[in-house]
Amino acid sequence: MNFKHKYLFLFPGLLVLIGILIFPVGFTVRLSMSSWDSFFPGLDYVGLENYFRLFQDDSRFWEAFGRLSFLSVTTVTLQYVLGFALALMVWKDIAFKRFFRVLFLIPMMTTPVIMTVIWKTFFHESLGPVNDFLNIFGWNPLWLSSEILSKVTVIIVEVWQWTPFMFLLLLAGLLSLPKEPYLAASIDGAGPYRTFIYVTFPLMAPISIGAIIIRLIEASKIMDTVYVLTSGGPGTATETSSFYIFIKGLREFQFGYSAALSFTYLIIMIISLTIIAKVLVRLMIRE
């Protein structure tokens, strides 16, 4: 395979790759070593100063990162459990199977930002219908302005929005499972519980891992929900990494510093998702 012109043919693809991936990442790295902000715009060189600032005295970023980890792990776990349950429900022959399958997908088809606005109205502490109802029992929970409840609200909205995605992937997985293991299990006398533990779950492990990883990647980008629902508040109670980076970069215009944040965030995500994927494979497939 010594074909002289191969680079010529690879060149356009490489050009696109450089334009949309390699250059932006490289530029971010370079930018992160500058002090570019709205007062002193320009690509100067300050070495690793931004990184020292990040690692030494920016606890807000690390708190945001911790919050993000908590939110994404919680939402994805809930989505997985609910999605799996819903998928199992409409997997077997039940009445109105088609209707339920479509119904469960609707949240995913809606626009996240708009749905979040609706959820925000829903959870509005003095005007929303949720508290209208809870007032009957004399409760008035602060859905959006309590430090703990605001996280719960974000989780509810995220779970509502993205469980259908999990449901879709897991249902597709269930529908593609072979029949024989189930026949064998029923011949061996396994009840529904044992059948699930020893047949369905192990067979679904590969697709589960795929679905969980996809959702984790998506969930760690969480931004629109937080932006619309709480704007990271109260205080920084629901502020996540991407939202914090957004504040630093596009509100305070500290481009240099936010580039350092972005790059650090990228590295951490790559490493942690790789580890998570490995752990999941170890836990669920156990070969």
Partner 1 sequence: MAKIELKNVAHSYSPDVENPEYALKKCNLSWKDGGRYAVLGPSGCGKTTMLNIMSGLVTPSEGTIKFDGVDITNMSTAERNIAQVFQFPVIYNTMTVAQNLGFPLLCRNYPKEVITKKVDQVAQTLGLENLLNLRATKLTADQKQLISLGRGLVREDVAAILMDEPLTVIDPDLKFRLRRRLKEINELYKSTLIYVTHDQNEAMTFAENILVMDHGKIVQVGTPLELFERPKTTFVGYFIGSPAMNMLKAEIKGKNVVSIGDTSFKTGTDLSKVKSKNIKLGIRSEFVELHDKNADNCISVKIDKVDDFGNFQLVSARHGMSPIKAKVSRDLAVPAGDAWMKFPDNRCCVYSNEVLV
Which residues contribute to the site for partner 1 (CB under 8 A)? 178, 180-181, 183-184, 186-191, 194, 198-199, 202-203, 286-287
Q: How far is the CB of 213 from partner 1 (least distance, A)?
A: 21
Q: Shortest gap between Cβ of 175 and partner 1 (angstroms)?
A: 19
- Residue 186 CB, nearest distance to partner 1 (Å)? 5
List, in sequence order, the alpha helices (H) in the chain. Answer: 6-17, 23-32, 49-57, 59-91, 97-103, 106-109, 112-122, 129-135, 147-175, 180-188, 192-195, 201-219, 224-229, 241-246, 255-284
Give dist(CA 41, CA 38) in Å, integer: 6
The answer to whether 34 and 48 have CB atoms below 8 angstroms apart is no
State the CB neighbour count (10 A cutoff) for residue 283. 10
Residue 184 C-beta: closest distance to partner 1, Å: 4
Q: Nearest approach, Cβ of 189 to partner 1 (angstroms)?
A: 4
Which CB sits closer to partner 1, 160 or 198?
198
Q: Decide whether 48 or 285 has the Cβ nearer to partner 1.
A: 285
3-state secondary structure 112-167: HHHHHHHHHHHCCCCCCHHHHHHHCCCCCCCCCCCHHHHHHHHHHHHHHHHHHHHH
- How many whole angstroms separate alpha carbon 70 and alpha carbon 86? 24
- Nearest to partner 1 of 81, 197 (CB atom): 197
| CA neighbor of 90 nearest in space, from 190, 164, 160 | 164
Residue keyed to tokens 């979040």: 116
Question: Would you say 12 or 192 has its CB closer to partner 1?
Answer: 192
Q: Which is nearer to partner 1, 181 or 210 (CB)?
A: 181
Q: Which is nearer to partner 1, 57 or 287 (CB)?
A: 287
The gap between the terminal CA atoms of the chain, to the nearest Å, is 37
* CB of 27 vs partner 1, minimal distance in Å: 47
